Structure formats: C-alpha cells, structure tokens
Chain A
Amino acid sequence: MYFSPEESSQVSEAAARSSNGAALKLRGLEKSFGARRVLRDIDLDIRPGQFVAIVGRSGCGKSTLLRLLASLDEASGGSMQIDGQRGDIRMMFQDSRLLPWKHVIDNVTLGLAPAHRRHAQEVLDRVGLGDRARDWPSRLSGGQRQRIALARALVHSPRLLLLDEPLGALDALTRIEMQQLIESLWLEQGFTAILVTHDVQEAVALADRVLLIEDGAIALDLDIRLARPRERASTGFSACEARILSRVLSSPARDDEAAVPEPVFSNFTRISWAI
C-alpha cells in the first residue's frame, strides 16, 4: 500500500459516508468467451461507498468485469455478492446510449413512473443541464450527453455506480469538469463507484483505490490516500501516478494486444496517457 505525505483523516471520513453504498465481494470470479479466458480468479472486496478505479491495457477485461457486475453477462465461474437489488446498480457507458427519440427529460426518467419527473428535473439541474430538458439528445455536445447519462443513472439513487470509460471521448477540459462533477455527486450521495479508465491521472484524481488488471487478474491494488479535493500538481499525486504507471509499463505488452509502444521517460507524469 502506498501512503502519501498528504495522507490525512480521509479514511475515517470515507467510513462515515458509507451508508448509501453497496458492498461487493467477489471470489474466484472467472469469465471466458469460448476458449479465451478473459478474467480469472478475481478476488475482490469493496467497502460500501468506496471509489475504485480500474486501469489496464486495452483488451485486458475491464469492461468484461463491469458487465459481470452489472449482470449484463454471466460469469463462467466463481461467486459474486453485491448487497442490494438489481435496481441498485446502474451503469454508465462510454457512449452515452441516450435514446435519440426521447427528449432529455424522458431519457432521464427512463424506466421510472411519471411521478419521478420532478426529481429527474432536480438531478438535471444538478448536472447543470436543467434548461435542456426539452431538447433532443442529438442537439447536445458529447460532454452534455455524458452529463445526461450521468443524471439518468443518478435519478435511481444507485448504491453501486459502474462507469465504463464515461469520459474517454471528451476533451481534456471537459474531462476535468466532469471528473469534478462525478466526485462531488459521489461525495453527496455516498454510492459505491467503480470507474474504468485509460487515464491514470483520472484514476488518481478520483479513486480511493486503484486496481490494475493484467492477464485477466488483479496485478496491483493500491490505496490512494490523498486529501480531497486533490491537487494534481502535488508531489503526492505525481508519486501515485508514477507508481501505477511504472507498474503498468513494467510488464511488456503482448503481441496480440494493440498496445502503445513503450516510451521511456524520466518523468512519468508526462505519460499519464500511455495506456
């Protein structure tokens, strides 16, 4: 485990916030597609209200793991316990998956009784798009669409929010804005969050804990004990980032993966996009 100089009383604070989140317990979880074993032997305990980031090379099985957690796919073996019902779990996809034929507000209330419209409007206001309720999704920018998708997930007050590279397609500035929004909503609502990302900096900025998946197994499990809001320029932040990156890059990319060639930099913070 990694303890930064900025480590503080965050741990106890996180425990206090935990009431709304679901706890996860995975034991020996496995997933194969035909002969290809994508995930093997995943043992994982996640505390209620924890913010977990999952990083790893493209094709390592990050999305597959999230889809198992969301019950979108069946596991091939092992067990998975999530305290809560199906409806407590919400997934946010990389492409926003808004229904183009429904107005923004009707997208947010998807699967809800009409009585929840007021609440939906409040959540829309919260993500800063209250005035776009009557627009078609096609009229929104990519970042706005992701905010709508976030609102749609949050209306259900999920206890577990799964985020599969929700910010992957956004520009750097919008990303940081969205990261702040996600963080503040998480702090407010106290759900358990699992975020898949390619961006190590994003993982360090948001997560209590970063998992690295490699060859279908968890290769690194690192607690990030930095005070929030996190200062990206701080030494503790850079140290975390560097540590994760060096671990990611220490294992050579396999031939069957379209991996980025591995550059050797002295300063790891400059290559936070390398995976």
Chain B
Amino acid sequence: MTHAIPSPQAGAAARAAKRLLPWSLPIVLIIVWQLAAQSGWLSSRVLPAPLDVVKAFWTLTASGELFRHVAVSARRALAGFAIGGALGLLLGLATGSWRRAELLLDTTVQMIRNIPPLALIPLVILWFGIDETAKLFLVALGVFFPVYINTFHGIRSVDAGLIEMGRSYGLRGWSLYRDIILPGALPSILVGVRFSLGFMWVILIVAETISAQEGIGYMTMNAREFLMTDVVLVGILLYALLGKLADQLARGLERRWLSWHPNYSSR
C-alpha cells in the first residue's frame, strides 16, 4: 500500500479537524439542549438550560458557597483516601512480603472485601451517627481494598529473577526492598491508587447525599428539595470535574514514577 505524503497545510488542517472531532458531538448536544430548553419544550424541572447552569455556577461561586462545599468534600475525600490508602498499602506490603502476615490476614481481608462498603451504611450510621467519622470510615474502607489487593499482587509478581540477581549482587533487607521489590510492585500499586481514586468519589457522593450538613452531596440534595435543578446539575458536574482531576493526578504519578516503563513513558 502506498500513502501520499500530505502537504504541510493540509496536514495542519487535518490535525485540527482530528482535535475538534471528539468535541463536536458534545457541542452540538449542548446547543440542541439549550434550544430545547429555551423553546419550553424541555421543562426546567427535568433539565435546566445550560445557560442557567452556568448562571447558577456563577452565583454559587460569587457567594463563596460553592468553594465551601467543594473544600469540605475534598477534605473528606482526601482524608478518607489517606487513611484507607495508607492502611491498604501497609497491609498489602506486609502480606505480600511475609508469608506469616498473609496467613494471618489475607483470608479475613478477602472475606470482608466481598461486602460492598455501601451495604454497611445502615450499620455505619448506627455506629458513628451521621457525622464526619461515618463518611471518613466509608471512604477509607472503599479505598482500602483496591490499594491492598494491588499492592499484594504487585509484590508477589515482582520478577523472581530480578530478586535473585539483586541477592547475588549483595542486596539484603531494606536495600533489596528499595531497589527491587518496591519499584517492581509500583506499577501495580499505582493501578490500585488510580482505581481507588475513582471509587473514592462514588462512595463520598452516596455518603454525602444520605447525611451531611455540608459538601457537594449536601448542596445537591438540598437543591433538590427546592427543585433547583440548575444547582443539582452544578453539583453533578463538579463531581465529574473532581473525578477527572483525581484521575489526572494518578496519571501524573504514573508518568513521573513509571517513566522507565515503556508503556507509561511520555513520548
């Protein structure tokens, strides 16, 4: 097969078209949506017009309310992630590295893993009431398992040949861990982190819509009671945005820490 070599201008135009193409459908949809809402064909109780959503976003931002809710939600998410992620990492490292720890812990963890964290909500409310601890607990629990399991598997799947090589070059204990086992497990650990960052928001959304006095979930639930669909939509979009941000963060970590890996290196 032969390919014609495109001229520079044609190439640039083609590239621009390629960039724009993925966005054309959302843009068309938003325009149609705006028109449908303006003509009254789409009731604002079902969906507010896009412009109304933008306006609501602006008023919420100007009043500082939006920032307050986002800050509260982000703090909950991060604190829960820090607790659950750190525990998952530590226990995963322990069970991955020591047969004893695996025997002691792994069966228990695998059993608990099969309970969806959200199924625990009634129990959690009984234990902690509806205050911060309940939300932290749920987020930490949800984050724990993906990190734990991927750390465990990461450690277990480190190339035995490399470990043997390291030993024969005199690496022992901590240096073997630092130079070979941890870096070898890192790709898997980061997969766990990335997955749990996504899961973190899902859990937080549910936890906040059920019981909260602050936070994005509270804001949307509150707005629902007053039929303020535009604010509800702002909340939903915020979750999408924050989820995307968390994902971007995880990708950033992968690019930074796995730059040696042919699959992750930035071209």
Contacts and interface: CB of A to CB of B under 8 A. Distances in A.
A118 B162 CA distance: 25
A99 B164 CA distance: 12
A95 interface: yes
B262 A99 contact: no
Given A99-B180, A100-B261, A138-B261, A110 B161 contact: no
A72 B186 CA distance: 26
Interface string A81-95: 000001100110101
Interface string B172-188: 00010001100110100
Given A72-B164, A97-B161, A99-B162, A110 B171 contact: yes
B166 A110 contact: yes
A265 interface: no
A111 B261 contact: no
A100 B165 CA distance: 13
Contact of B165 (A71, A86, A97, A156): A97
B103 to A, nearest CB: 25
B62 to A, nearest CB: 48
B160 to A, nearest CB: 11
A72 B179 CA distance: 19
B179 A99 contact: yes
Interface string B242-267: 00000000000000001111100100
Pick the most buried of A95, A100, A101: most chain B CB atoms within 10 A of its CB.
Answer: A101
A243 interface: no
A136 interface: yes
A93 B169 CA distance: 13
Contact of B162 (A71, A90, A97, A156): A97
A37 interface: no
Given A87-B170, A111-B170, A138-B261, A102 B164 contact: no
B260 A111 contact: no
Interface in A114-142: 136-138
A70 interface: yes
Given A101-B183, A101-B260, A95 B161 contact: yes
Contacts of A91: 165, 168
Given A97-B162, A102-B179, A110 B169 contact: yes
A241 to B, nearest CB: 32
Interface string A5-28: 000000000000000000000000
B183 A99 contact: yes
A72 B168 contact: yes
Contacts of B175: 111
Interface residues of A, number: 21
B169 A111 contact: yes
Nearest to A135: B260
A93 B165 contact: yes
A86 B169 CA distance: 9
Nearest to B187: A101
Nearest to B182: A101
A100 B260 contact: yes
B260 A138 contact: yes
Interface string B220-241: 0000000000000000000000
Contacts of A95: 161
A57 B256 CA distance: 46
Contacts of A156: 169
Pick the most buried of B162, B164, B169, B258: most chain A CB atoms within 10 A of its CB.
Answer: B169
Contacts of A93: 161, 165
A97 B161 CA distance: 7
A111 B165 CA distance: 11
Nearest to A100: B260
B228 to A, nearest CB: 51
Contacts of A137: 260
A136 B169 contact: no
A191 to B, nearest CB: 16
A88 B262 CA distance: 34
A209 B179 CA distance: 38
Nearest to B175: A111
A190 to B, nearest CB: 22
A150 to B, nearest CB: 14
Contacts of A136: 259-260, 265
Contacts of A97: 161-162, 165
Contacts of B180: 99
24 contacts: A72-B164, A72-B168, A91-B168, A93-B161, A95-B161, A97-B161, A97-B165, A99-B162, A99-B179, A99-B180, A101-B183, A101-B258, A102-B179, A102-B260, A110-B166, A110-B169, A110-B171, A110-B179, A136-B265, A138-B260, A138-B261, A138-B262, A152-B169, A156-B169
Give the top 7 A-B pairs by smallest Cβ distance, nearest first. A111-B169, A101-B183, A97-B165, A111-B170, A101-B260, A136-B260, A138-B262
Interface of A: 70-72, 86-87, 90-91, 93, 95, 97, 99-102, 110-111, 136-138, 152, 156
